[in-house]
Structure 1
């Protein structure tokens, strides 16, 4: 890849990882529509690492509180609101891990098509609109509870299907279950940390088994651009949804889905 493609793909990853519009779909589309060469596993690891570091650093205070509270609950048997939230996040991670282990190869071969992306972009966009407009939402992430956390975790497992959007489907589930917009987004972003770390480990394992040459310039640039764009995205997304809700993202998904349907029809 040349420098322009690296920057564009890294921006796509950073900007769409935490917006409810599907980063995986947007990373697949340049190859599908523009004929760009697939970015490869090493680049995927780099940009995913950049966005993972962004969410960890942005929520560094919350991450430290949750981690220390969780360790206290494990070793001293002392529980708090933070330790409960940490356990709920761990519980919500389990369905995605199980789904990945069972269906990873199938999803990566069967569902990585423009037809699937078009359908999931529209369907899950409409579900997000339904959840945002027609549900009562006032719970904080500390009022999630283990049952709601598990349901959100099951929703997160669906995000392996391109076009679904991990943040989109988990925020949708959180809204349906009564979480406020910001609480649903924060819970979704915190859930991204263990899932992102696990995905990086699996990707690194697969990469270690290959013998491809490494373009360090592309990896460093991609990681940096992904980190900066993801950090900025998280900051402004949390501010935007308190004022405008999910409508702008729903409209974007519907327009994108319509464009994709047009590409399918013409092609």
Structure 2
């Protein structure tokens, strides 16, 4: 049974990781709907590795170009004029906030942050924020115009996603829209920025998988991770095509509807808000 649950949650992770609707919120909410045990923060962190591997495969040319350009810049001063050198540093700098806060807030991430009152509220609030960003953002800046200051702001937005319900992609995309970046540019950079943070968190949480009371165990977790990789790869391709011509309005409506439903059901006692 745990294997079946892991497959279902792997599909859910793959479908929701790249959409601005919070995959960690869905992995916390939907087990409550079905009366399953909470998979736990460790399961969530590890299964996200699958979707980030999908990012690595999909964007491997971009990653290779940035990585090699950054390494060249370490030894060749003339290479530091290239965009790849700056992009490498932007990803590193943008990853610092979530690393620091992730270590400082680890206990809260594993417990209080997974409370459905928190998750329902953040789904609604950040849905409104995304809606405002979609409406007021100029959407004219290409990713090539990224600055050090904006890289830090992107990183701070990503760090907010330590709270389930915020959404890593939703927070960083919202910040990008507020700063005037094109939808596709903000989305693409959000994907690249997430790689170090998510892979690092997943590897850090591997030690917590075997034997934990709220986790499914090693084999189901690995299966869920593989499933999330396959589904996530398809979702990346679809989303990048979608945002090039359409708005994030449907995701805003979905976030507010789901968050409201969670708060109503928790308030009525139909589902338990706390972590089991």
The partner residue of 1:176 within 175, 178, 189 is: 178
User: Distance between the aligned counterparts of 1:42 and 1:178, measured in 2?
Assistant: 35
Contact in 2 for aligned 1:42/1:219 (Cα 8 Å): no
Residue 221 of structure 1, CA deviation: 2.6
Q: How does 1:1-267 map to 2 (within 5 A)?
A: 1-40=1-40, 43-44=43-44, 46-77=46-77, 78-79=79-80, 80-207=82-209, 214-216=217-219, 218-267=220-269
**Residues 144 and 209 of structure 1: is their aligned pair in 2 closer, same or farther, counting only changes over 3 Å?**
farther
User: Distance between the aligned counterparts of 2:212 and 2:165, measured in 1?
Assistant: 27
User: Equivalent residue for 2:274?
Assistant: none
Of stretches 56-65 and 189-198 in structure 1, the one that deviates more from structure 2 is: 189-198
Residue 75 of structure 1, CA deviation: 2.1
Residue 135 of structure 1, CA deviation: 1.7
**Residues 131 and 45 of structure 1: is their aligned pair in 2 closer, same or farther, counting only changes over 3 Å?**
closer
Residue 92 of structure 1, CA deviation: 0.5
SS of aligned partner of 1:20 = coil
User: Distance between the aligned counterparts of 2:12 and 2:29, measured in 1?
Assistant: 11
TM-score by length of 1: 0.93
User: Distance between the aligned counterparts of 1:104 and 1:241, measured in 2?
Assistant: 33
Q: Give the unaligned 5+ runs of structure 2.
A: 270-276
SS of aligned partner of 1:111 = helix
TM-score by length of 2: 0.90
Contact in 1 for aligned 2:94/2:152 (Cα 8 Å): yes
